[in-house]
Amino acid sequence: MAETILQVEDLSVSFEKNGQRDMLVQNVSFQIEKNQCLGIVGESGSGKSITCKAILGLLRPPFHVTGKVSFLGRDLLLAEDTTLRKVRGSEIAMILQHPMTAFDPLEPIGKQMTESITLHKGISEKEALILSAASLEKLNIHQPMEVIQKYPHQVSGGMLQRVMIAIALVMEPAVIIADEPTTAVDAVNVATVVELFESLKKMRKTALVFVSHDLNVVARLSDQLVVMNEGSIVERGQVEEVLHHPQHPKAQQLVETRQALVNQFYRYVKRR
Amino acid sequence: MKQYIARRILLAIPMLLVVTFISFGLIHLIPSDPVEVALRVNEIIPTDEAIAIMREELGLDQPFFTRYASWLKQIARFDFGQSYINKNRSVSGEILRSLPATLKLAGMSFMIVVGVSIPLGIICAVYKDRLIDRAMRIFIFVATAVPNYWMGILLIWLFAVKLKILPTGGNQQSGAIILPAVTLSLTYIATYMRLIRNSMLENLTENYVYYARTRGLKEKSIIGRHVLKNSLHESIAALGMSVAQLISGTVVVENIFSWPGIGRLCISAIFNRDYPVIQAYILMMGVLFILCNLLADITQAMLDPRLQEVK
């Protein structure tokens, strides 16, 4: 029997402006089990990222969040700020799109890596640095100490992406939410990032939420698949099932687009 | 980094030359004759003969560019010549005598500006749209709109005339620096408060803040460490210019509060058509602006590794 780690029930997010209420996410429910990957796909603006933010309690007014997010028995939506802060980054880690802008430009990478590690683990800067370096090494970065001393602008986007993953890994979180981690990465590096996540899945028994508008990438990684459109889940199921028998027109459209690209993609990956 | 500094200093040299030319040339656009004024101030009747003698004595019979060249040679040795009005006094002596008072006033104002605007700017950004932010917005509006000569007079009326707790002017009594320093700093406080507030709000929407939050960092350290550093960094260039503006901007305030600084020296020199003093003053201010700008740029580059690599 698989162990449910994160359960989202009837999650709705609205945005209030000038007395008008816009529904951004409507009655979204899903659950993730240990050692599983849930893929969330949908067009830009379908509410994928907002859902991720809502799970971690990162939305503030004028956003309004209702529903239930149970994480290991706790409802995160009811949790206090201090409790949430301890969960963020240590039990549920996030990996974002746009790695180039995700770091403070005025601080070396290492300092930013250790900032959250020292906070969550209560260890010294030095120990955190050793952990960071070890984590980077696991992601095939051969000179971690060099990367640690560099500033974010001095390394590539793909490198920063790996730094983000390394930060997430150090804390050994129960859940990793990857919010469109391949969007900002060029075609050559998409394959690398996907491989990275694949090894991540094997390396740790973490539950992975993989958000993307790129069905190719999601299909390779996920066990379960959820298709979102205009704030609601329109299709869900095992990856193979959704890919081969899409029911909702939006899901069908996504799959059709994928068919056109998928052969090309695999040919490309094989060539590498 | 060294290269960057060297290049900035090299770039400053032609700018300095332009400043010398403007400060020398500008004064000659004034329509009245300095010789006549100098004679009157020294109570000599300006006959044609007296004027001719005086003109030769002051070197004003030479063509413009000859005078400019010899003046350049002089100032290269930091010799700004003698005052036209009081020939026993050297211009540099006059300036050195009044400079400390101005520096004291400008320094005090700068400390007030930095000490008040940064914390208030942070508070306004953190409590955006709350009562304190709204109140400060009104303050910013008023402080920017009211000219400092009027603000100075209002403050004198309130604190010196009505409440009688501070002196109206001069620099002898204790506490005399408070009113002029506050008057001088108000506009800058408003400017920097707004600058820091807006820059922090802008930084707060940045992706790195969001990522820091997803990692569970405390809001205090996100704002205090990352956002503040980035916002202050953006303000450094403007702050550098303000140091120069504060020193040059004392002219009006010094006259309201009878503060015996370089601004008062300049005003009386202008009334007396005392060319060497005015030229020296304008030149000094120009150099000051260039220097402050240079220093601000270098500081900024030192704090931002991205700027050090720009070719």
Q: What is the pLDDT of residues A219-243, one digit of tens each?
A: 888 888 888 888 778 778 787 777 7
Q: Please indicate if any CB of chain A lies within 8 Å of the CB of B306.
A: yes
Cβ atoms of B98 and B260 closer than 8 Å: yes
Calculate what percentage of chain A has a pLDDT beyond 70: 93
Q: Please indicate if any CB of chain B lies within 8 Å of the CB of A151.
A: yes
Q: Please indicate if any CB of chain B lies within 8 Å of the CB of A160.
A: no
Mean pLDDT, chain A, integer: 81
Cβ atoms of B75 and B283 closer than 8 Å: yes
Give the pLDDT confidence score for residue B311 in this predicted structure: 47
The strand order across the sheet containing A20-33 reads A20-33, A4-17, A63-71, A74-75
Axis crossing angle, helix B228-248 with helix B178-204, rounded to the nearest 10: 150
Residue B310 has pLDDT above 60, yes or no: no
For residue range B195-214, what is the model confidence (pLDDT) as tens digits? 999 999 999 888 899 898 88
Residue A185 has pLDDT above 70, yes or no: no
Cβ atoms of B85 and B274 closer than 8 Å: yes
What are the C-alpha distances in Å from B258 to residues A250, B136, B178, B181, B250? 78, 31, 13, 13, 11
For residue range A100-147, what is the model confidence (pLDDT) as tens digits? 888 988 888 888 888 888 888 888 888 888 888 888 887 777 888 888
Residue B170 has pLDDT above 60, yes or no: yes
What are the C-alpha distances in Å from B44 to residues B33, B35, B49, B55, B269? 15, 11, 11, 14, 19
Distance CA A118, CA B91 (A): 61
**Mean pLDDT, residues A24-42 taken together:** 84
Residue B113 has pLDDT above 90, yes or no: yes
CB-CB under 8 Å, B233 with A104: no
Residue A58's identity, in one-letter code, is: L
**How many CB atoms sit inside 10 A of residue A130's CB?**
14
Burial of B240 (0-12, 13-18, 19+ CB in 10 A): buried
* Residues 6 or more apart whose Cβ sits within 8 Å of residue A92: A6, A55, A56, A71, A173, A174, A175, A176, A177
Closest residue to A85, CB basis, from B216, B305, B306: B216
What are the C-alpha distances in Å from A176 to residues A56, A209, B210? 11, 6, 16
Give the pLDDT confidence score for residue B112 in this predicted structure: 94
Containing B15, the helix (H) or strand (E) segment is helix B2-27
Q: Which residues between 194 and 213 in chain B have a beta carbon less than 8 angstroms from any beta carbon of chain A? A: 206-208, 210-213
* Residues 6 or more apart whose Cβ sits within 8 Å of residue A115: B212, B215, B217, B221
Q: What are the structural domain ranges in chain B?
A: 99-263
Closest listed residue to residue B200, CA positions, set B305, B120, B114: B120
For residue range B265-308, what is the model confidence (pLDDT) as tens digits? 888 888 887 888 888 888 888 888 888 888 888 888 888 888 77
Distance CA A158, CA B297 (A): 32
Q: Please indicate if any CB of chain A lies within 8 Å of the CB of B216.
A: yes
Q: How confident is the model at residue A1 (pLDDT cuts 50, 70, 90)?
A: very low
Give the pLDDT confidence score for residue B199 in this predicted structure: 92
Q: Which of B130, B210, B211 best probes binding to A when mutated, by most A CB atoms within 10 angstroms?
A: B211
Q: A51 vs B34, which has greater pLDDT?
A: A51
Q: Which fold has domain B99-263?
A: MetI-like fold (1.10.3720)
Q: Please indicate if any CB of chain B lies within 8 Å of the CB of A101.
A: yes
CB-CB under 8 Å, A98 with B217: no
* Residues 6 or more apart whose Cβ sits within 8 Å of residue A97: A179, A180, A181, A182, A183, A184
Distance CA B59, CA B25 (A): 15
Closest residue on chain A to B221 (Cα) = A115
Cβ atoms of A243 and A259 closer than 8 Å: no
For the ranges A157-171, A200-214, B199-213, B293-307, which has the lowest average pLDDT?
A: A200-214
Task: Record the tokens describing residue B138, joined without a space.
Answer: 């009104």
**Mean pLDDT, residues B74-93 taken together:** 80
Q: Please indicate if any CB of chain B lies within 8 Å of the CB of A94.
A: yes
Chain B partners within 8 Å of A105 (Cβ): 208, 230, 304, 306
Residue B174 has pLDDT above 80, yes or no: no
Interface predicted TM-score of the whole assembly (ipTM), two decimals: 0.84
Q: Please indicate if any CB of chain B lies within 8 Å of the CB of A51.
A: no
Q: Please indicate if any CB of chain A lies within 8 Å of the CB of B230.
A: yes
Residue A119's identity, in one-letter code, is: L
CB-CB under 8 Å, B229 with A105: no
Chain A partners within 8 Å of B303 (Cβ): 106
Q: B118 vs A261, which has greater pLDDT?
A: B118
Give the pLDDT confidence score for residue A239 in this predicted structure: 76
Distance CA A62, CA A19 (A): 10
Mean pLDDT, chain B, integer: 85
Alpha helix (H) residue ranges in A171-248: 187-203, 215-221, 239-244
Residue B65 has pLDDT above 70, yes or no: yes
Closest residue to B214, CB basis, from A94, A105, A107: A94
CB-CB under 8 Å, B221 with A106: no
- Phi, psi of A95, deg, nearest 5: -125, 125
Q: Which residues between 54 and 83 in chain A have a beta carbon less than 8 angstroms from any beta carbon of chain B? A: 56, 58
Cβ atoms of B235 and B196 closer than 8 Å: yes
What are the percentages of helix, strand and coil residues in chain B, rounded to 5? 75, 0, 25
Give the pLDDT confidence score for residue A186 in this predicted structure: 67
Q: How confident is the model at residue B167 (pLDDT cuts 50, 70, 90)?
A: confident
CA-based nearest distance A262→chain B, Å? 31
Distance CA A29, CA A35 (A): 19
Length of chain A as a residue count: 272
For residue range B119-145, what is the model confidence (pLDDT) as tens digits? 999 999 989 888 999 999 999 999 889
Containing B264, the helix (H) or strand (E) segment is helix B262-271
Closest listed residue to residue A9, CA positions, set A34, A26, A21, A33: A26
> What pTM, to 2 d.p., does this model score?
0.79
Chain B partners within 8 Å of A91 (Cβ): none
Give the pLDDT confidence score for residue B117 in this predicted structure: 92
